[in-house]
Structure 1
Amino acid sequence: MKSELLLVLVLSLCVSSKPLSKKRTYNKLLLISFDGFRWDYDQDVYTPNLDELVKEGAKAKYINPPAITMTSPSHFTTITGRWIEDHGVVHNLMFNTSTGKIIPHKGTLKQSEWWDNGALPLWITAQNQGLKTASFFYPGGGVNYTGQAVYRSLVLSQNHPDDNETEWKQNIDTVMRWYTEEDFHFVALYYGEPDNVGHAKGPETPERRKIIEQIDRTIGYLRDAIHKNSLTDRLNVIITSDHGMTTVKKSPEVEEIKLNKYMSFLNLSQFELLDYGGYGMITPKQGKEKEVYDALKNAHPNLKVYKKEEIPEHFHIAKNKRIQPIVLFADLGFNLNSRIILYINKGDHGFSNDEMDMKMIFRAFGPDFKKNFLAEPFDSISIYPLMCKLLGVIPEPNNGSLSDTKGMLVDDSDAGERIKVSLTLLIMMLISNII
């Protein structure tokens, strides 16, 4: 009689509980990247909408970009959760060291061979698991991965304006329609500011502060659009960036780094990627590697030079075949000039990700995020497992950690899954004992 009562109890528990196999419903996700949005850009500008997001959701003190603090490498780290040496996008420029051919950043956006190196971006992984995804100008979204394309992708044209506020709002309206009328699950949306203003005018200028005000208005428009489209309880939003920005140090205040002063490119270099911020690579002519290295190693007090095998492991770049034999990093604010001083930018990036000026913003809000939550800094690779959890996607192998971000979630643990597993085991044990 006792065993019969126990069996009835177990069976009633199964009936009264939700079915263990019932699939959870996941909310939609919007990832927005504002290129070059330094972590502290909102601190000297009136930003009521960004301030409101702090109350409505989660904020990280700042985010650490990957070692190569450039647009393409950093964005691809976010969307794959992989270090640069794993995903292979090692520069904004696509290059061929044998032919010397270099393709500018926007020219790479439809070049599959530059992006498709074995690391699958979230768009493709989510699609393979039944979700509908889109890339709106996001770097890497306009190419094929093992023959698969993002379900919908829009790619920046060569002369596309980056600062048109009217268009910014129209882009948000388009994305809202994708969610409401076409049932998209994940969209990555990219804006080219404040990067362009930071380059052209410098980060500590009225022009940069003005573009941050424009970004804040756009975020206000986004919040209103989410409400008007009845997505408040169904859409999570992550707002972040790819790198920061710093003021370029110019003569006569400093001794600029002019590499031609220390070595002959004509005689020693087969190929170089320089004149592009604080990071560069050189492929010496055959048998000339030691001569190039020795010429540059102690040439300038604000220049660090590494043989490929000497690159610090925590940079996570050395193991990729696209990294050239000689790698150079300049100190903060010092540009690498190869032959002549021709750099016209007043602000730049590409410097060490340890520098505070290279850190970037992180905000998140929506039904799955806690309110008024301040997170400690974390690496941008950990945005990927966070997005996978929000979408219910089984992630590809990645270098991120959900432990970096799960504290900001309403469901900040795997307790529910553990309860289901424990309950299942308990039921099996009880039935086994009864039988």
Structure 2
Amino acid sequence: MVGNYMYDIVRNQSFLIGTNPDQYNAHWWDGGDPFWITATREGKRTYMYYWCGCEVEIRGLRPTQCQKYPNRPPTINDTRVALTDALNKLEADTADFAGIYYELADKYGHRSGPFSSLVMGFLRDVDAQLAFLMDDLDRRGLTDKVNIMIASDHGMTTISPTRTIDLTRVMSPDDVFVTMDSGTPVLIWPRPGRLEQLYGKLAGISDHLKVYKKEDIPGRWYLKNGRLTPPLLAVADIGWTILIPKYPHFPASSATMGPMQGTHGYDNTEPDMRGIFIATGPAFRKNEVTVPLKVTDLYQVMCKIVDIPPSPHNGTWDNVSGMLAETSSSGTFFQPLTVVQVVLLNFVVFS
């Protein structure tokens, strides 16, 4: 996966998150294992709630249950229903893992900015929901039997119309076949023979824009070798956004940038792009503060907790080993485990 909006030049197909049925074709997803697929392959019972992609058959597998993402972002009440359902299954020992996605803080972070009263209200809702979760665990006697991970997939920063890089000034239909996304980053497929010419135009348009040929994309982004990575990638400086043209003859692949006061997708070394990670339960040490983690570090933690071998991944074990509690001689944890993951907050629960 290289973005919410992707183009497959071999198939001449577009992946436009939430807007086109083609996104549910397995070929978009088969390049790697989501955790629920790894766990299902190993015989674990996995329950996913509102998690994008859980309805897709990936490498011939599906989770035990997928509560599909609805036509509108799930509410905090939806989240409470999902948490209660997940805990019921964990208590009855009919589930090993549950993942719950909550998006409203992200949606309104875009619309009204990350420090808006709307976002603060949604975060208070999440805080209250977590209090409900902890009380419910205690009431059920599951506090020492369930692991909870709360993580976000990205941060958010404030943007302004006065900090816009307008690529329409230099891009023409003669140069460009497809563009994907807007804001930052922007994925660009030049027409045959036009890559160098277009790269030269884009590279000099703004001091606040970095343009990479595919082979020059920083390795730490794990993008340069991707099959779906475009020949050119444009990334704005933090707080700046990119405006791209949308030509009538283009495939239905360009996302127009609506009014926004916050966004993400910048260089992941920027402090505003940092997410959160909080975990509790028998698998984790108490009051442990970890080194800064990468999102790619979390997959191996979940595999360790449910005692399954991970598929190939880009996580670094030394980043996470210190947060885990003592294990038995077999390498597995003494207590049964669970995950509830939250996105902008993802709740993951293991039993």
Same fold (TM over 0.5): yes
Map of 1:71 onto structure 2:
none
Distance in 1 (CA, whole Å) between partners of 2:269 and 2:258 is 24
Confirm or deny that 1:282 pairs with 2:193: no
Confirm or deny that 1:301 pairs with 2:216: no
Distance in 1 (CA, whole Å) between partners of 2:35 and 2:125 is 29
Confirm or deny that 1:399 pairs with 2:306: no
Q: How does 1:91-240 map to 2 (within 5 A)?
A: 91-97=3-9, 101-106=13-18, 107=20, 110-117=24-31, 119-157=32-70, 159-162=71-74, 164-181=75-92, 183-240=94-151
Map of 2:252 onto structure 1:
none
Distance in 2 (CA, whole Å) between partners of 1:130 and 1:285 is 47
Q: Counterpart of 1:142 in 2: which secondary structure?
A: coil
Residue of structure 2 aligned with 1:259, choices 167, 185, 189: 167
Deviations 1:17-74 (A, max 9, x none): xxxxxxxxxxxxxxxxxxxxxxxxxxxxxxxxxxxxxxxxxxxxxxxxxxxxxxxxxx
The structure-2 alpha-carbon separation of the partners of 1:155 and 1:370, relative to structure 1 and needing over 3 Å to count, comes to same
Map of 2:178 onto structure 1:
271
Q: Counterpart of 1:270 in 2: which secondary structure?
A: strand
- Structure 1 runs not aligned, ≥5 long: 1-88, 419-435
Residue of structure 2 aligned with 1:367, choices 275, 282, 292: 282
The structure-2 alpha-carbon separation of the partners of 1:330 and 1:229, relative to structure 1 and needing over 3 Å to count, comes to same
The 10-residue stretch of structure 1 (388-397 or 237-246) with the greater mean CA deviation from structure 2 = 388-397
Distance in 2 (CA, whole Å) between partners of 1:231 and 1:299 is 57
- Give the superposition deviation at 1:193: 2.7
- Give the superposition deviation at 1:145: 1.8
The structure-2 alpha-carbon separation of the partners of 1:111 and 1:155, relative to structure 1 and needing over 3 Å to count, comes to farther
Provide TM-score, normalisation by structure 1. 0.69
Instruction: Say if 1:193 and 1:211, in contact at 8 Å, map to a contact too.
Output: yes
Confirm or deny that 1:332 pairs with 2:332: no
Distance in 1 (CA, whole Å) between partners of 2:238 and 2:2 is 20
Distance in 2 (CA, whole Å) between partners of 1:338 and 1:99 is 23
Which one-letter code corresponds to 1:287 in the other structure?
A: G
Instruction: Say if 1:337 and 1:343, in contact at 8 Å, map to a contact too.
Output: no
Which one-letter code corresponds to 2:73 in the other structure?
A: P
Instruction: Say if 2:40 and 2:62, in contact at 8 Å, map to a contact too.
Output: no
Instruction: Say if 1:302 and 1:331, in contact at 8 Å, map to a contact too.
Output: yes
The structure-2 alpha-carbon separation of the partners of 1:175 and 1:351, relative to structure 1 and needing over 3 Å to count, comes to same
Distance in 1 (CA, whole Å) between partners of 2:231 and 2:120 is 40
Which one-letter code corresponds to 2:314 in the other structure?
A: N
Distance in 2 (CA, whole Å) between partners of 1:166 and 1:396 is 34
Percent of aligned pairs with the same residue? 28
Deviations 1:271-323 (A, max 9, x none): 11132x21011111111111100111111111000111111222220001211
Which one-letter code corresponds to 2:83 in the other structure?
A: I
- Structure 2 runs not aligned, ≥5 long: 247-255, 332-351
- Give the superposition deviation at 1:200: 0.9
- Give the superposition deviation at 1:91: 1.0
Distance in 2 (CA, whole Å) between partners of 1:109 and 1:360 is 26
- Give the superposition deviation at 1:101: 5.0
Distance in 2 (CA, whole Å) between partners of 1:166 and 1:216 is 13
Instruction: Say if 2:5 and 2:181, in contact at 8 Å, map to a contact too.
Output: no
Instruction: Say if 1:274 and 1:336, in contact at 8 Å, map to a contact too.
Output: no
Q: CA RMSD in A?
A: 2.1
Q: How does 1:81-100 map to 2 (within 5 A)?
A: 89-97=1-9
Distance in 2 (CA, whole Å) between partners of 1:314 and 1:102 is 26
Q: Counterpart of 2:279 in 1: which secondary structure?
A: strand
Q: Counterpart of 1:374 in 2: which secondary structure?
A: coil
- Give the superposition deviation at 1:99: 7.6
Distance in 2 (CA, whole Å) between partners of 1:149 and 1:342 is 34
Which one-letter code corresponds to 2:290 in the other structure?
A: A
Q: Counterpart of 1:174 in 2: which secondary structure?
A: helix
Q: Counterpart of 1:388 in 2: which secondary structure?
A: helix
- Give the superposition deviation at 1:161: 3.4
Q: Counterpart of 1:189 in 2: which secondary structure?
A: strand
Deviations 1:198-249 (A, max 9, x none): 0111012222111111110011111112122222121101100100101112
Distance in 2 (CA, whole Å) between partners of 1:286 and 1:401 is 39
**Bigger Cα Rg:** 1
Map of 2:295 onto structure 1:
380
Map of 1:345 onto structure 2:
260
Specify which structure has the higher proportion of helix: 1
Provide TM-score, normalisation by structure 2. 0.85
- Give the superposition deviation at 1:98: 6.5
The structure-2 alpha-carbon separation of the partners of 1:200 and 1:100, relative to structure 1 and needing over 3 Å to count, comes to farther
Distance in 2 (CA, whole Å) between partners of 1:274 and 1:398 is 26
Distance in 2 (CA, whole Å) between partners of 1:219 and 1:98 is 45
Q: Counterpart of 1:352 in 2: which secondary structure?
A: coil
Distance in 2 (CA, whole Å) between partners of 1:406 and 1:274 is 37
Distance in 1 (CA, whole Å) between partners of 2:181 and 2:315 is 30
